[in-house]
Amino acid sequence: MNTWTGTAAPRMITRPFHRKWLMNQADALLGFYRQAYNPAGGFFTLDKEGRSIGHTPRGTGTLRELHDTCRMTHCYAAAHLLGHPSGAAMLDHGMQFIRSHHRDPDAGGYFASVDDDGPVRADKLAYGHAFVLLAAASAGAAGHPDARWLFDDILNVIRTRFWQDVMTEQYDRNWTAPDGYRGMNSNMHTLEALLAAYDIWPDDSLRTMALAIADLFINTHARAEGWVIPEHYNTAWQIDRHYEGDPMFRPAGTTPGHALEWSRLLMQLWIIDGRKQDWMPEAARHLFQNAVTFGWASDRGAFHYTLDWDNTPLRRANYWWPVAEGVAAAHVLGSLLDDDLYEDWYRRCWRTLDARFIDHKQGGWWHEIDADGQPEECVFKGKPDIYHALQACLIPLVSPHRSMNAGLMVCPDPAGT
């Protein structure tokens, strides 16, 4: 691909055509994932053509992962705020399933995965609970009547079960077998959800929790590592440099896509905290710079999934979500910091997404490309996720001072200039 991105021209986001293009892409995603509606409750996982996949081994309907249910709920809250005809029904469908199937009525908390007959994975994961909080905040932005109930319930679970200065990671159904692993990723998404909730219900305790997460993982650990974010830890919060778990959620090494996510979230936290802590924009700059310097696979026009501790590529798989996070991070940093670097990367990421990841024929986005830039299905089967793609389309259309759905809540014409 060519390297020139046209950054001498005005910022793309100021152009009416680009804003309408973003809205059109969001509309296409919402239309494609409307097919995920499962009459039995929750949502189907979709294949590359938008058909349902993912039946459970015991054959009682499709598997519903907690984070997937909550991400769909979050995204169709956005659809409702935009005025999409399917938004209210899809949002309500997700909210009902979270409460009726994912929630553990006996021990509290939320099952990691379920099918039509009940829990498949009955353990309680911090990662999934972070997305319950995000779904509650998004439902609150959209005015759903159960949003406050869900917010109060999940916040109580987080505070009483997971929170020990920051988030612990994993328990069994009855909260009696804490896992020895501690992770950054679940904490990052908890921070994301805390910021979204603070935008709807501005309780200072939410901001305090978010600050604690940012201080440990970024101001302490990432700073000490030259603005590289360690992913894996033991129970004493010592870095485990040799850990390798799930190839998607807990891979070995460091993850440039997470550095991009963090750079955006830090800027939002900086604003919510009154722009008092200068280390936050400093860290955001460094995290973004390191991600694009060491993480970008120039021969493929995408980001490497993981890097080794010397910043060399470890897993060269190229997924859609780091490029989508590059869009969101570049937009937010470009809106708040004076540097043309971010506009260059905003354009570069959209060019890659448009050329290689957006499926212009069948709908949705390809989740993985091979060495030749062609779609493949190694880790991901089909097109299971709308969350990263929709956020890439909508975050640039709302204020960088707020989370996505809170921004949509106060902006009746996000495609306007």
Q: Are 137 and 191 in contact (CB under 8 A)?
A: no
Active site residue 101: no
What the block records as the tokens of 263 is 């750079």
What the block records as the tokens of 192 is 């994301």
From 221, 258, 286, 304, the catalytic residue = 258
Q: Are 368 and 376 in contact (CB under 8 A)?
A: yes
Question: CA distances (Å), 98 to each of 78, 81, 303, 371, 372, in order?
Answer: 17, 20, 33, 39, 40
- Distance (Å, rounded) from C-alpha 388 to C-alpha 213? 22
Nearest to 62 by CA among 36, 86, 95, 87: 36
Residues with Cβ within 8 Å of 258's Cβ and at least 6 positions away in sequence, in order, are 184, 185, 188, 229, 231
Q: Are 112 and 98 in contact (CB under 8 A)?
A: no
Active site residue 74: no
**Sheet bearing 113-115, strands edge to edge:** 64-65, 113-115, 118-121
What the block records as the tokens of 107 is 């021990």
- Active site amino acids: 258, 388
